[in-house]
């Protein structure tokens, strides 16, 4: 994923993208010229997304990753 803006969009709207796109977005952000504090933010956001996806696996019906 070469476009940093798209990578950021993927991270902020994970329900609209595949797991592969999430991984590619994280990699693109980590390789970008962003400041280290932002890279750490997105690394933690990715971890939260994965935790929420795992927690919502057993839930019947379609709810958002963050309970919305």
pLDDT tens-place string over residues 9-36 = 999 999 899 999 999 999 999 999 999 9
Q: How far apart are CA 43 and CA 51, in angstroms?
A: 13
pLDDT digits (tens, 9 = 90+) for 44-57: 999 999 998 888 77
pTM of the entire predicted model:
0.77
Task: List CB contacts of 53: < 8 A, sequence separation 6 or more.
Answer: 14, 65
> For residue 66, how many other CB atoms are within 10 A of its CB?
11
Are 42 and 26 in contact by the 8 Å Cβ rule? The answer is yes
């Amino acid at each position: 994923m070469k476009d940093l803006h798209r990578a950021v969009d993927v991270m902020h709207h994970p329900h609209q993208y595949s797991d592969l796109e999430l991984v590619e977005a994280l990699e693109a952000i980590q390789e970008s010229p962003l400041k280290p504090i932002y890279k750490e933010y997105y690394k933690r956001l990715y971890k939260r997304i994965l935790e929420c996806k795992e927690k919502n696996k057993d839930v019947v019906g379609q709810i958002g990753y963050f309970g919305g």
